[in-house]
Amino acid sequence: MTPAVQLAKKAGVAHSVHVYEHDPSVTAYGDEAVDKLGLDPARVYKTLVVATDTGALAVAVLPVPAKLSFKAFAAAVGAKKVSMADPAAVTRATGYVLGGVSPLGQKKRLPLVIDDSARSLSTLFVSAGRRGLEIELAPEALAELTGGRFAAIVAD
């Protein structure tokens, strides 16, 4: 059981875990989850760790098909500029490897922003902490468990 799943269980949050066989040759992890689980891509959210201009890390959670608006995300976290974080820094801060980074149960609680599109969903899917493992839960539960908030962070 991953820290993400443990956190949801301990908090008593309604959730379900979905497992699929990860293909090691695949690097489009979110697309793989959509395909292998037969899900609507608009309900599967990817977790991106971003570095701010001050060197601090923050987390963006957005639909798999969408692109992160660096400008909107910077504004949402109170930074002037942001860029994708170094993969080694991501693993150190979250305890997860790329492709398995969950917004839940990270080693350090980083500022987290969930795209506003999630508010229209009854449940969404995010990584449960390893490749081939997704957790389904309500967007409000995700925000509550992570200390996250909602904002428009997707590029047009």
What CATH superfamily is the domain 3-151? YbaK/aminoacyl-tRNA synthetase-associated domain (3.90.960.10)
Q: What is the pLDDT of residue 156?
A: 85
The pTM assigned to this predicted structure is 0.96
As a 3-state breakdown, the chain gives helix, strand, coil percent values, each rounded to 5, of 30, 30, 40
Dihedral sign, Cα of residue 26, residue 32, residue 35, residue 36: positive
If you ran DSSP here, which 8-state letter would residue 145 be given? Answer: H
CA angle, 107 as apex, 20 and 127 as ends, to 5°?
Answer: 20
Query: How far is CA 82 from its chain centroid?
Result: 17
Q: What's the pLDDT tens digit per position in 36-73?
A: 999 999 999 999 999 999 999 999 999 999 999 999 99
Q: What is the mean pLDDT of residues 22-41?
A: 96
Residue 47 to residue 30: CA distance in whole angstroms: 9
Residue 129 to residue 152: CA distance in whole angstroms: 25
Give burial (CB, 10 Å; 0-12/13-18/19+) of 105.
buried
Q: What is the mean pLDDT of residues 13-40?
A: 96
Q: What's the pLDDT tens digit per position in 97-147?
A: 999 999 999 999 999 999 999 999 999 999 999 999 999 999 999 999 999
